[in-house]
Amino acid sequence: MALAHSRVFGAAQLEQVPTPGSYRAYIETYGCQMNFADSELVAGLLHAEGYGFTQDPQEADLILINTCAIREHAEEKIWQRLKYFQSCKQRRPHLIVGVLGCMAERLKAKLLQEAPVVDLIAGPDSYRHLPQLIRQVESGARAIHVLLSREETYADIAPMRLAPHPTSAYISIMRGCNNMCSFCIVPFTRGRERSRRWQSIVSEAQQLAEAGYKEITLLGQNVDSYQDQGVRFAELLARVAEAAPTAWIRFATSHPKDMLDEVLETIARYPNLSPYIHLPVQAGSNSVLQRMNRGYTAEWYLDRVAAIRRYLPQAVLSTDIIVGFCGETDADFEATVALMEAARFDFTYHFMYSERPGTLAARRYKDDVPQEVKHARLEAVITKAQALSLTSNQAQIGTYQQVLIEKPARRDPKDLAGRTFSGRNVILRGAAASYKPGDTVEAYIHEATSATLIGYVTATLSESP
Ligand code: 5AD
Ligand code: SF4
């Protein structure tokens, strides 16, 4: 999975929840989009139990922190937050603090032992048990549930839509991962891969579109291995596109070893399937890819890129790169930079290798690339990535793009920020006077940086409901 970032749920949506007199929960989420989608499920579950919500941890009766374990740094952040929640608890002794997600699954009882503030631990397949775990804490015991499941998809639970924009929604289509990339903790924290029934995905997409949602993102650790009753990912995409014709459909994450031409063909066929493809490559050297257990070579990856460019000339292609994996030589690293150039990535997420206890790599290989070499390689990847993004964005100057407006721009409150159909960031100059998040507009692009396109609105396509 990709797109690691952290965010607290938005105020606007939370305020809609009736709270008077009720217990109030505060949910903080770290990690990938799947975690954000999971927090929406948890919020839906708590809402059904009569909970209200607050944006302020100081006011909460229940604090849940949904965690990520993908790199050591992600976990360090959580330990810090737990210290802060300890101070909240000193002021409000009845406060319950729970840790959810991948770090809860990875560390299990160790978290209870090492963080006295924690009352409750629930792994990614344990959220159905939350009400009962909370009751257990209320009756004076600490509570833990970290069993992974082969079946759980939460298909019947209505998520409370909180993220990330008012007309944007996630649908998880599958959970877990069977791939066992050697660096990755996800198969251990999220368990075996299982696909949700296609009928429930399609009907959720249809309901979202009918309710006015304009962007639906289908989530899975490896969407290309989706499989339910003979329906593969390409067919699922087609059915969702037909069921939600007024929404832009996005998806993440694709896997280079499994991505079939039929998926690309399907995207080309439907005008509401976004040609944004996140295709993590991780490394450009075949020996590193082999040690990573990725199941493809650099040549195979570039063949997939060629297919993407062939079927989808407007595609935006992004990737994940890890630098400093075990045994990575200068020549291996040069191969990564050469692959970046050959693939002409529109956007790159980059990470320094961080050994995760229990993974295949931690057991088999030495984390032997010195920290300063990892840093230098990361810098080189960033420089290359920025140059490629700049070229890619500059090629959009002079074009008209459909843009879904997401939020006020950070730098200037007169501007709005949004995303093009193909997934590029856009700043719309002076748009705040006439438009709002959730509106879809046509924009003329007159400038570009490596991070964003800059343009102005030329027409309204549809307004936020
Ligand atoms: N160290 C560094 N990066 C990692 N990722 C996954 N595991 C690790 C790790 N141990 C990166 C991969 C993945 C992204 C979500 O995080 O690039 O695609
Ligand atoms: Fe981790 Fe690989 Fe599965 Fe992605 S495909 S979640 S990197 S094991």
Determine which residue's CA is closest to atom 2 belonging to ligand 2. Answer: 181
Q: Is residue 389 domain-shared with residue 409, that is, in the same domain? A: no
Number of domain units in the chain = 4
Q: Is residue 197 domain-shared with residue 215, that is, in the same domain? A: yes
Domain presence at residue 159 = no
Helix (H) or strand (E) holding 83: helix 72-91
Q: What is the pLDDT of residue 339?
A: 98
Atom number of ligand 1 nearest to Cα 4: 15
Q: Is residue 368 domain-shared with residue 341, that is, in the same domain? A: yes
Where do runs of H (alpha helix) occur along 395-451?
none
Q: What is the pLDDT of residue 22?
A: 76
Determine which residue's CA is closest to atom 16 belonging to ligand 1. Answer: 2
Domain end point (choices 379, 395, 411)? 395
Largest CA distance in the chain: 64
Q: What is the pLDDT of residue 463?
A: 86
Residue-wise pLDDT tens digits, 334-365: 999 999 999 999 999 999 999 999 999 999 99
Q: Quick check: 190 pLDDT over 60?
A: yes
Q: How far is the CA of 293 from the centre of ligand 2 (A)?
A: 10
Residue-wise pLDDT tens digits, 310-342: 999 999 999 999 999 999 999 999 999 999 999
Q: What is the pLDDT of residue 174?
A: 97
Q: Quick check: 253 pLDDT over 80?
A: yes
Domain presence at residue 225 = yes
Q: Quick check: 8 pLDDT over 60?
A: no
Domain end point (choices 78, 110, 145)? 145
Q: What is the pTM of this model?
A: 0.94
Q: What is the pLDDT of residue 262?
A: 98
- Rounded to an integer, the average pLDDT of 109-134 is 96
What average pLDDT does the structure give for the chain? 94
Domain end point (choices 254, 274, 294)? 274
Q: Is residue 30 domain-shared with residue 131, that is, in the same domain? A: yes
Q: What is the pLDDT of residue 254?
A: 97
Give the residue numbers spanning the domain of 185: 165-274
Q: Quick check: 77 pLDDT over 70?
A: yes
Q: Quick check: 1 pLDDT over 60?
A: no
Q: How confident is the model at residue 3 (pLDDT cuts 50, 70, 90)?
A: very low
Determine which residue's CA is closest to atom 14 belonging to ligand 1. Answer: 2
Q: What is the pLDDT of residue 10?
A: 34
Q: Give the CATH number of the domain where residue 200 resides.
A: 3.30.750.210
Q: Is residue 86 domain-shared with residue 204, that is, in the same domain? A: no
Flag the least confident range among 159-163, 176-180, 201-205, 371-375. Answer: 159-163
Q: Is residue 288 domain-shared with residue 370, that is, in the same domain? A: yes
Check if 255 has its Cβ closer than 6 Å to any atom of ligand 2: yes
Check if 325 has its Cβ closer than 6 Å to any atom of ligand 1: no
- Rounded to an integer, the average pLDDT of 84-108 is 96
Atom number of ligand 2 nearest to Cα 190: 6
Q: What is the pLDDT of residue 23?
A: 87
Q: Which of 213, 171, 160 is nearest to 39 (CA)?
A: 160
Domain presence at residue 28 = yes
Check if 354 has its Cβ closer than 6 Å to any atom of ligand 1: yes
State which of 257, 289, 322, 350 you would mutate to test the pocket of ligand 1, scoring each by most atoms of that ligand within 8 A of its C-beta. 322
Q: Is residue 267 domain-shared with residue 372, that is, in the same domain? A: no
Q: Is residue 63 domain-shared with residue 10, that is, in the same domain? A: yes
Q: Please tell me whether residue 27 adopts helix, strand or coil conformation.
A: strand
Residue-wise pLDDT tens digits, 51-74: 999 999 999 999 999 999 999 999
Q: Quick check: 81 pLDDT over 60?
A: yes
Q: Quick check: 44 pLDDT over 50?
A: yes
Q: What is the pLDDT of residue 465?
A: 78
Which class for 230: exposed (0-12), middle (13-18), buried (19 or more C-beta within 10 A)? Answer: exposed
Cα–chain-centroid distance for residue 408? Answer: 21
Helix (H) or strand (E) holding 137: helix 130-138
Atom number of ligand 1 nearest to Cα 2: 15
Q: How far is the CA of 181 from the centre of ligand 2 (A)?
A: 6
Atom number of ligand 2 nearest to Cα 294: 2
Q: What is the pLDDT of residue 162?
A: 76
Q: How far is the CA of 4 from the centre of ligand 1 (A)?
A: 9
Q: Is residue 265 domain-shared with residue 299, that is, in the same domain? A: no
Contacts (Cβ under 8 Å, ≥6 apart) of 271: none
Domain presence at residue 232 = yes
Q: What is the pLDDT of residue 14?
A: 45
Q: Is residue 100 domain-shared with residue 178, that is, in the same domain? A: no
Atom number of ligand 2 nearest to Cα 255: 5
Determine which residue's CA is closest to atom 4 belonging to ligand 2. Answer: 1
Q: Quick check: 103 pLDDT over 80?
A: yes
Domain presence at residue 366 = yes
Atom number of ligand 2 nearest to Cα 221: 6
Domain presence at residue 379 = yes
Q: Give the CATH number of the domain where residue 122 resides.
A: 3.40.50.12160
Q: Give the CATH number of the domain where residue 432 resides.
A: 2.40.50.140
Q: How confident is the model at residue 163 (pLDDT cuts 50, 70, 90)?
A: low
Q: Is residue 381 domain-shared with residue 406, that is, in the same domain? A: no
Check if 221 has its Cβ closer than 6 Å to any atom of ligand 1: no
Q: Quick check: 419 pLDDT over 60?
A: yes
Domain presence at residue 152 = no
Q: How confident is the model at residue 17 (pLDDT cuts 50, 70, 90)?
A: very low
Q: Quick check: 2 pLDDT over 70?
A: no
> Which phi and psi (to 5°) does residue 458 adopt?
-110, -20
State which of 184, 289, 296, 360 you would mutate to test the pocket of ligand 2, scoring each by most atoms of that ligand within 8 A of its C-beta. 184
Domain presence at residue 264 = yes
Sign for the CA dihedral angle at 44, 32, 67, 127 comes to positive
Q: Is residue 231 domain-shared with residue 252, that is, in the same domain? A: yes
Contact assessment for residue 138 and residue 119, using Cβ atoms and an 8 Å cutoff: no
